[in-house]
Every structure is written in structure tokens, then in C-alpha cells.
Structure 1
Amino acid sequence: MRTPSVFIAEEIMPYLRARVAERLYHEGFKQVRIADYLGITQAMVSKYLAGRYRKPLREIAERLDSIADEVVRLILFGGGRDEAIVLVTRRLFDLFESGFLCRFYSEYSGLDEETCRSLFVRGGGRAEILEEMNRAISHLSHLRGFPSLIPEVRSNLACALPSPSVKEDVAAVPGRITSAKGRIFALPPEFGASSFTAGILLRLSEWNPRIRSVMNIRYGPDVEDALKRAGFSFARVKTGGLSEEEAIPKIVRPFEDGTYDAVIDEGGHGVEPLVYIFGRDPLEVVEKIERLISALGVLE
């Protein structure tokens, strides 16, 4: 029987392992170390590096290349084999859950595509949101100027389901987004991963339900000037001395009177100044980040 697990083993993993091996070798890893990470023999690594592996359809290859990039970033940031397995498993499950891989799996197995979807797709739009989050984070990883916008408290990207009621209705990056040596690192997004950004979007849904995504970046005079040059509308608040529970409604309060691209939080004693970028979805938020980087003059 050609189950999804067989499809992954035969059609997906050889190419994905090969692409990870190639990237790690390019980063200076020895073949024996690559083999240990991938759980394969050194001879197999040598085969992959020689290009002796079958390439999938271009659409699948593009998605797998993106996953390979994430795996390599995780390893370069010190992630272990177990973390790499979790990352790959989540990413592949997301591709099934979104319906993307079901189209190809149905051709491989002869199983009806809708039956495949019934195995993986959950209701409520969660799969679609995780897919959008993954795409947005992948795009962030290719923006040369983004690491310079990550604050001391680190950044996070979040997106809420329509009409959210609890923090588990908001997807965010566990542990937030960090950077080192000009690269960003982020674990796969999960629902319920962030209380603070969830609190912002839960409160915001009361005033402007169309705005369902937010990301925090550092504040500075250069960033404020770039906001102006990019043509963004923004408001100012100050949350210094407030608890998280008190800060959340203050950050959202400007939306009672209008819609803004960003809110500047001037911070205060013990609170780092930040800028919150808002959008209808994660991709719109990242598009605004890209415009901001361009206005800062550091975009390739």
C-alpha cells in the first residue's frame, strides 16, 4: 500500500536530505558530521553530494528547498538532530494539512485527493494560517536588513483566527525570532505560543477584526523616519511601568479611532521601545517590513 508515509519516504525525503547535505557541506561541514545529523551513512552523503538523487516536480522542489534552508539555519544555530526531526515533521505535516501535498500524493497513490485532505486538514483555517506564517517567515529570512530590526527582547510574528477568543486561537513563533551572524532563526509557528502578541490581537479583534497579524521590531529615530518615508500611518503610546495586562490595551487603544500600519511604544523604565507593525495577515506584515527596510536604505 502506498500510504502517505511511503510517499514521504520514497518521493520526499531523498531530495530533502540531499538538499540539506549540500547546504551543510557548503557551510563547511564534514561528510561524517552531515551523516550523523541526517541519520544516514557517509556513503549516502557522498552520493547526494555527487548529485545522484531524483528530483521531484518543480513545485514540490521549491517547497522542500525552503524546508532545507530552515533545517540548515537550525543546525547552524546549534539545533540538534531531534529538533531537526521535529522541524521537518511539522513542515511536512503542514504541507499535507494545507492540501498542497495531497494533490501530488493522490497521483502517486491513486487515492482520492479529498480522502487525503480528510486525513490531514483540520477545520477553522488553522492550516491556512500556519502555511501563511511559514511563507512569511521564509520571506523574512531572505531580507538582508531584517536582522538589524530585531530588538533586544527579540521579535515575534503572530496571526489570529477570525473572531479569536483565547490565546490558542493565535499562532506565533515559539521562543520568538532571533538572529546571529546576519541570519535569522525561528522555530515552526504554533497556536498558543505567545501570550503577549495573542493578547494584542485578541483585544484588537474587538475594534478592528480585519487586522489579524502583528510583528514587533526595534524602535529608533531611523526607524521612525523610515516609517514616514514609507508612507505608513502610525500612532504613539508609552507603556513604561505598566504590567503586560495593562500594556496590551494601551498598545491597541489607537485603533478605537482609526486604522494604523504601526504603533510606536516609547517604552520607559525597564521597557524597551518597540514598533508594532500590523496587517491583515502575516504576508502583509512582512511586505510592510520589506518596505520599511527599503526606506532605511539597506534592502538589496
Structure 2
Amino acid sequence: MRTPAVYLADEVMPFLRARIAEILYQAGMTQSEISNYMGITQAMVSKYLAGKYKMPPEELARKIEEVAGEISKFILYGGSREDATILLSRRLVELFQSGFLCRFYSRYAGISEEACRSIYSVQRDRGEVLEKLDLALHNLLGFDVFAKFIPEVRSNFAYALVSPRGPEDVAAVPGRITIAKGKPYALPPEFGASRFTSGILVELAEFRPEIRSVLNIRYSGDIQVAMKRAGFHVATVDTGGRDEDAIKKITKPFADEVYDAVIDLGGHGVEPMVYIFGRDPFEVVEKFRRLVDYLQNSTSPQT
């Protein structure tokens, strides 16, 4: 029987270790240092650097490249070997939880994708999602200018569990983010607190499971220009207002590629909106910070 652990050892880890070794070596680490950190022989490191490893399927290789880049960056910034191991283990579990690795593992092991998904379905860490969203929300509200970005319908900030099935699997701000005494104000995040933003993340999970967080802010021409200058990959949709098809229209561009933000042009009596997306709420806040930086360097957002 070929368990997920056997699959990872045979098909994923050799290429993943090789890419991490290559990135670390290109960044200036010696083969000896890489060997000691990764717990493999220097001869194996040399083999990896010589390109002697099996290439996985193209789609899987791209995903492994992303994980290798994240882990390598963590290592180069001084992360401990223990913490790097924990981070890597979490990322691999998330790839199974999202169903991505199940597509490849099911063929390797000769079992159904559904059987693979059932192995990891119980690992749904609600506490971690709430903790991360609450911290990111605190950072977001710390921006002095954020109140200027809250639309008339108010903002919400959401973060989903891996493979969310409905609003009950997505944490968001109850009652949305509003303005009190001239400053942005929000209650602590809760699961099931938003129907619309939760619906966006649930819909995205079907084909872009890595995108698990979203924040909506108001739209203006200046904001659109600032996003372009900040290097955002932006899609524009016209929902005609928040009708029953709005969620599908907002998420549809992601079927072809990943976007940093989506502009909804709104409709009659419905204000246009910008949705900023990320893998987690910290990435969303970082994108908002970049937007503010470029906006302040050119012009102030319209009031």
C-alpha cells in the first residue's frame, strides 16, 4: 500500500529538496552549510546542484517551486531548522487538504481523489484562522488612512479554512468594518459572519484553493492607477450590482490566472468596489500597504 507519506518521499521531496538546495546555493550558502541545515549528505547536495533529480509533472513542479521559494526565504532570513520543518510540513498538509496533491497521489496510489481528501478532512484549524485574521485586522486598522478606503456599504476582511464548504468555514468581521468617531472600527472576527465575501472564497476554493483571503475597499480612478504602479495584476468585471451572479462574476477571472485584485464596476445605485486577494490575510494587508504607498506618492485618494 502506498500511503501519502510514501508518495511524498518518492515523488515530491527529492525535487523539493533539490530546488531548496539550488536556491540556497545561489543565495551564497555553501554545500556544507546546506547539507547540515537540510540533514542530507553533501554528496546529495552536490547531486541536486548538478540537476540529477526526477522532474515531476509540470503543474506539480510549479507548485513545489512555490513551496521551495517560501521555505528557502524563511531559511535565508534566519529561520531555525525546527521551524522550517514545521512550516514545510504544514504546507504539504495544506496541499493535501486543498485537494491539489490528491489529484497526483490518487494516480500514484491507485485510489480515488475522494478517498485521499477524506484522509485530511478532519484537519481544519479554526483557531489558527481566527488568530491570523485578528492580527492582520489589527494591523489593517492601524493605518491612519484606512478610513478613507471604506466604501459606503463598508468593508469586510475574510479568511477561509482550507477547502471551505460554506460561510461557516470562513472567518470575517461581524457587521463589517465601519467608521466610529472618524476612525475604522471592527468587532473580532467570527466564522459565518459574512455571506458575500465568504461566498467569494468558497467559490474560489473550487479552482484556486491557495487564495484564502479577501478584503473589499472603495474604488476610484486614483486607486486603480496606484494599483497599476504597484505592479498589481488586476481584473475588471461588471456585475451590474450585487445580484445572484455577482460572486461568480468576481471569481471568474481566476479560472485563467491568479489576480491580486478585482475591480467590480458595480451598477445602477451600487457603488464600484475593489477586492484585494491573497493567500492569507497578511499578504492582503501587505498589498494594501503597497497600494497606500504608491497612492501617497502620487496623489491622495478622492473623498
**TM-score, length of structure 1 as denominator length:** 0.57
Tell me the equivalent position of 1:268: 267
- Asked whether 1:127 is paired with 2:127, we answer yes
Which amino acid letter does the alignment assign opposite residue 138 of structure 1?
H
CA distance in 2, matches of 1:126, 1:273: 32
| Conserved 8 A contact 2:242-2:266 | no
Gaps of 5+ in 1: 1-121
Tell me the equivalent position of 2:212: 212
Which amino acid letter does the alignment assign opposite residue 153 of structure 1?
V
Which amino acid letter does the alignment assign opposite residue 214 of structure 2?
V
Which amino acid letter does the alignment assign opposite residue 288 of structure 2?
I
- Asked whether 1:203 is paired with 2:203, we answer yes
CA distance in 2, matches of 1:254, 1:247: 12
2:254 is paired with a residue whose SS is helix
Which amino acid letter does the alignment assign opposite residue 294 of structure 1?
D
1:193 is paired with a residue whose SS is coil
Identical columns (%)? 60
For residue 123 of structure 1, report the CA deviation from its aligned partner.
6.0
Which amino acid letter does the alignment assign opposite residue 248 of structure 1?
I
Tell me the equivalent position of 1:292: 291
1:139 is paired with a residue whose SS is helix
Which amino acid letter does the alignment assign opposite residue 157 of structure 2?
L
For residue 229 of structure 1, report the CA deviation from its aligned partner.
1.2
| Conserved 8 A contact 2:125-2:161 | yes
Q: Using a 3 Å threshold, how does the CA distance of structure 1 residues 242 and 277 change in structure 2: closer, same or farther?
A: closer
Which amino acid letter does the alignment assign opposite residue 222 of structure 1?
D
Deviating beyond 6 angstroms after TM superposition, the runs of 4 or more aligned structure 1 residues are none
Gaps of 5+ in 2: 1-121
Q: Using a 3 Å threshold, how does the CA distance of structure 1 residues 265 and 241 change in structure 2: closer, same or farther?
A: closer
1:194 is paired with a residue whose SS is coil
For residue 249 of structure 1, report the CA deviation from its aligned partner.
0.2
1:128 is paired with a residue whose SS is helix
Q: Using a 3 Å threshold, how does the CA distance of structure 1 residues 242 and 182 change in structure 2: closer, same or farther?
A: closer
| Conserved 8 A contact 1:240-1:270 | no
For residue 205 of structure 1, report the CA deviation from its aligned partner.
0.5
CA distance in 1, matches of 2:241, 2:284: 28
Tell me the equivalent position of 1:161: 161
| Conserved 8 A contact 1:211-1:278 | yes
Tell me the equivalent position of 1:18: none
Which amino acid letter does the alignment assign opposite residue 137 of structure 1?
L
For residue 180 of structure 1, report the CA deviation from its aligned partner.
3.6
1:284 is paired with a residue whose SS is helix
Which amino acid letter does the alignment assign opposite residue 130 of structure 2?
L
Which amino acid letter does the alignment assign opposite residue 275 of structure 2?
Y
| Conserved 8 A contact 1:239-1:271 | no
Q: Using a 3 Å threshold, how does the CA distance of structure 1 residues 296 and 181 change in structure 2: closer, same or farther?
A: farther
For residue 151 of structure 1, report the CA deviation from its aligned partner.
0.5
CA distance in 1, matches of 2:222, 2:239: 21
Tell me the equivalent position of 1:279: 278
CA distance in 2, matches of 1:242, 1:275: 13
CA distance in 2, matches of 1:126, 1:208: 20
For residue 270 of structure 1, report the CA deviation from its aligned partner.
2.2
CA distance in 2, matches of 1:198, 1:285: 15
Which amino acid letter does the alignment assign opposite residue 162 of structure 1?
V
Which amino acid letter does the alignment assign opposite residue 209 of structure 2?
P
1:215 is paired with a residue whose SS is strand
Which amino acid letter does the alignment assign opposite residue 212 of structure 2?
R
Which amino acid letter does the alignment assign opposite residue 247 of structure 2?
I
For residue 182 of structure 1, report the CA deviation from its aligned partner.
4.0
For residue 132 of structure 1, report the CA deviation from its aligned partner.
0.6
CA distance in 2, matches of 1:211, 1:123: 18
Q: Using a 3 Å threshold, how does the CA distance of structure 1 residues 279 and 230 change in structure 2: closer, same or farther?
A: same
1:207 is paired with a residue whose SS is coil
CA distance in 2, matches of 1:242, 1:224: 21
For residue 140 of structure 1, report the CA deviation from its aligned partner.
1.1
Q: How many pairs were matched up?
A: 177
Tell me the equivalent position of 2:228: 228
CA distance in 1, matches of 2:190, 2:276: 20
Which amino acid letter does the alignment assign opposite residue 170 of structure 2?
V
Deviations 1:42-74 (A, max 9, x none): xxxxxxxxxxxxxxxxxxxxxxxxxxxxxxxxx
For residue 141 of structure 1, report the CA deviation from its aligned partner.
1.8
CA distance in 1, matches of 2:242, 2:147: 28
Matches within 5 A, 1:12-23: none
Matches within 5 A, 1:1-300: 124-241=124-241, 243=243, 245-297=244-296
Q: Using a 3 Å threshold, how does the CA distance of structure 1 residues 241 and 275 change in structure 2: closer, same or farther?
A: closer
CA distance in 1, matches of 2:132, 2:201: 17
For residue 287 of structure 1, report the CA deviation from its aligned partner.
0.9
For residue 138 of structure 1, report the CA deviation from its aligned partner.
0.8
| Conserved 8 A contact 1:150-1:217 | yes
Which amino acid letter does the alignment assign opposite residue 225 of structure 2?
D
